[in-house]
Structure 1
Amino acid sequence: MDIKKVAVIGGGTMGNGIAHVFAMNEIPVHLVETSQELADKALATIEKNLERMVEKAKIDSVQKIETLDNIKTYTNLVKGVEEADLVVEAVPEVLDLKKEVFQKVDEAVSEDTILASNTSSISITKLAAVTGRPDRFIGMHFFNPVPIMTLVELVKGLETSSETFESVEQISKLIDKTPVEAEDSPGFVSNRVLMPMINEAIFCVHEGVAEPEDVDTVMKLGMNHPMGPLRLADFIGLDVCLDIMEVLYDGFKDPKYRPCPLLVKMVNAGKLGNKTGEGFYVYD
């Protein structure tokens, strides 16, 4: 299937980045939000990021304007998605919310439209089952910040067709991403490997083995990681890390995926990292 128009549902950190990369590659995007205020905020973020690219000479001012012109915002879900060839969902990582969104989208789009979820850990098969098109449903897991990170995990549900996979693989390459195929398993590849490492780093702090700064220094200097796991956890959001660990724990029923009690305590205290100003580090 030739994908010519894309709808992105959700204009938060991931959603506005996904809209950004499609629009920058000359693909018209309908960005759907729950209010005009949130839609305007998403556009302002995209414009700010594009301006940063202009300053770094990665694009010119004409490309910035053309990219913004490729994006239209909607607060009506049906109107926003009805003409799309591909709909990418990027709402919060809540199963019931995603199910509700996909049920509505499934009824609003044409029978040929492909539905994709940007979920980082929720079962693609489970999400596809609430629609009438499990063969045209796929996981399209981008990484933050989307305009910079080149990877996209393409996750096949139980019934995802080869035609659907090939179409999404093709559009991923068209927007300068490197697609990697993954089967539908808790956490897929990225978070099945990353989150237990972050969780174990938190256990090191919880058990008094080392302070957060020292844990991160070991991983940066000893393992050549560009960012320590605890700083990365703050960047991702400790609530998101906990959600993914719980998906892994529930999915595998293996105690090695048990969330660290300190992680649970910090989330309960509202110390979620960058977005709240405090996590394992304090932020302005």
Structure 2
Amino acid sequence: MNDSIFREITVIGAGTMGVGIAQVFMLSDAEKVNLIDISPETLKRTKETLIRYFDILQKDQFFYKKGEKSRILNKLNTSTELENTINNSDLVLEVVPEDIKLKNDLLKKIGELSTSQTIIASNTSTFTITELGYASGKPRNTIGMHFFVPPINQSCIEVMRGKKTSNDTFSKVVEFSKTIPTRNGNMFVAPIHKDTPGFISNRILIPGNLYINVLADIALKKGIPYEQLDADAKSIMGIGPYELSDYLGLDTAYNALKSFEERVSHEFAPGKVLEDLVSKGYYGKKAGRGFYQYNENGRAKIDKTIKSGLLNPELMLAIQLNEGCKLLEEKIVENYSIIEKVMKIGMGLPGPFIPGKRNYKKWAKLLNNFANEHQIEYFQPCELMRSGKFVGMRK
């Protein structure tokens, strides 16, 4: 008998993230995984993609039992219908685009179709679980499960409760998440006991987007090419922040800043350069144009031989450290080792606390000077960073 916490799971949204999440759910002890999307063509491609994913795992000797791949693939059910899947599911996870109306409408429908025992989860990047819980009509059953791409390799899940999430909902999702297999063993689970936009990962990263947006407006006024700002960041980033923004999608960056503008601080309002690019449909690499122009092969000419001196890599790290200290001050997390693990395991990036222990005084001054010069109160160093007391909060 299967003693899995969740016997049947439904994933709604068959994009890149949804397919990756379905893959690791299929590897779990769940008996059935439903993957729902409005597009039959997308679902057809999804099946082919998952077969290819599991072929790769088999070649890499991920499976130890004969016939294991076939057994796992038989767990998958794809459908364009919600009604016949949600009411039998123990866990329903939405992975639809980061649009609040779309998510609210979907969650309302999930709430109406699900049983009183069904747990409703969201993979949102920037919205709060509390607001999504109210949208579902079942806030006690609603929780955040934030994955990283691809989940099979980036073996970390941030599990966050909303203000009304029940202890039972939270504990079940945390315990189940710990059992999900990945290439690196089971998932590392970061339990977040207090609701915040962006979980841990995006709270750390999105303020950096605000910084590069401020600099983009300055560079435009001064006639400085963005490639020179990317050159400034070479010491800490293999791919510069503007090239990376193009790769991830400027519409994504814009929507994240707009969400934080509403939920965190009005100072996250997108800058003039980003507003102009997005308004013209220049969403980055996928659109052929963003901060850079891309040819038919998706390549851009980016010359990083000249630095502008405008972007300070240390200031980018200082912003991350300050945000991490705010998470500690706000009691979003209990210690900074959780933040470091999320960044390392989930994002493949070093966290700010280890270098921050040596440099926090210098970085606090850098932040203070930048905040005063550009009148951005949000960048003022918080008390925990200024004092260095975070040093004793590793565990």
CA deviation digits over 1:139-192, x for unaligned, max 9?
Answer: 111122222212222121011111111111111111132221232222232212
Aligned-residue offset at 1:57: 5.0
- What secondary structure, in the 3-state scheme, does the structure 1 residue paired with 2:153 have? coil
Q: Which residues of 2 match residues 149-228 of structure 1 at below 5 A?
A: 149-175=154-180, 176-182=186-192, 183-208=194-219, 211-219=225-233, 221-223=234-236, 225=237, 227-228=239-240
* Residue identity opposite 2:133 in structure 1: A
Greater relative contact order, per chain length (Cα 8 Å cut-off, separation 6+): 1
* Residue identity opposite 1:81 in structure 2: I
Cross-structure match for 1:32 = 36
* Residue identity opposite 1:196 in structure 2: P
What are the ranges of 5 or more consecutive residues in structure 2 without an aligned counterpart? Answer: 181-185, 300-395
Are 2:10 and 2:35, in contact at CA under 8 Å, matched by a contact in 1?
A: yes
CA deviation digits over 1:200-250, x for unaligned, max 9?
Answer: 22433442286444444543x423x45433333233322111111111111
- What secondary structure, in the 3-state scheme, does the structure 2 residue paired with 1:129 have? helix
In 2: Cα distance, 1:273 partner to 1:185 partner = 28
In 1: Cα distance, 2:78 partner to 2:44 partner = 8
Cross-structure match for 1:95 = 100
* Residue identity opposite 1:194 in structure 2: L
RMSD over equivalenced CA pairs, Å:
2.5
- What secondary structure, in the 3-state scheme, does the structure 2 residue paired with 1:84 have? coil
Are 1:20 and 1:67, in contact at CA under 8 Å, matched by a contact in 2?
A: no
* Residue identity opposite 2:5 in structure 1: D
In 2: Cα distance, 1:80 partner to 1:96 partner = 23
Matched, 1:243 2:255: yes
Which deviates further from its counterpart, 131-140 or 119-128? 131-140
Are 1:237 and 1:273, in contact at CA under 8 Å, matched by a contact in 2?
A: yes
Aligned-residue offset at 1:37: 1.4
- What secondary structure, in the 3-state scheme, does the structure 2 residue paired with 1:73 have? strand
Aligned-residue offset at 1:108: 1.6
Cross-structure match for 2:331 = none
Are 2:125 and 2:197, in contact at CA under 8 Å, matched by a contact in 1?
A: no
Are 2:10 and 2:92, in contact at CA under 8 Å, matched by a contact in 1?
A: yes
In 2: Cα distance, 1:135 partner to 1:191 partner = 24
In 1: Cα distance, 2:231 partner to 2:72 partner = 39
* Residue identity opposite 1:37 in structure 2: E
What are the ranges of 5 or more consecutive residues in structure 1 without an aligned counterpart? Answer: none
TM-score (norm 1): 0.88
If you compute each CA radius of gyration, which structure gives the higher value, 1 or 2? 2
In 2: Cα distance, 1:278 partner to 1:166 partner = 45
Aligned-residue offset at 1:265: 1.8
Aligned-residue identity in percent: 32
- What secondary structure, in the 3-state scheme, does the structure 2 residue paired with 1:152 have? strand
Are 1:205 and 1:211, in contact at CA under 8 Å, matched by a contact in 2?
A: no
In 2: Cα distance, 1:271 partner to 1:147 partner = 31
In 2: Cα distance, 1:38 partner to 1:89 partner = 16
> Residues 231 and 57 from structure 1, CA distance in 2 versus in 1: closer, same or farther, beyond 3 angstroms?
farther
One of 76, 82, 85 as aligned partner of 2:81: 76
* Residue identity opposite 2:248 in structure 1: I
> Residues 262 and 164 from structure 1, CA distance in 2 versus in 1: closer, same or farther, beyond 3 angstroms?
same
> Residues 253 and 150 from structure 1, CA distance in 2 versus in 1: closer, same or farther, beyond 3 angstroms?
same
Matched, 1:139 2:134: no
Are 1:216 and 1:230, in contact at CA under 8 Å, matched by a contact in 2?
A: yes
TM-score (norm 2): 0.65
Cross-structure match for 2:314 = none
In 1: Cα distance, 2:282 partner to 2:56 partner = 29
Count of paired positions: 281
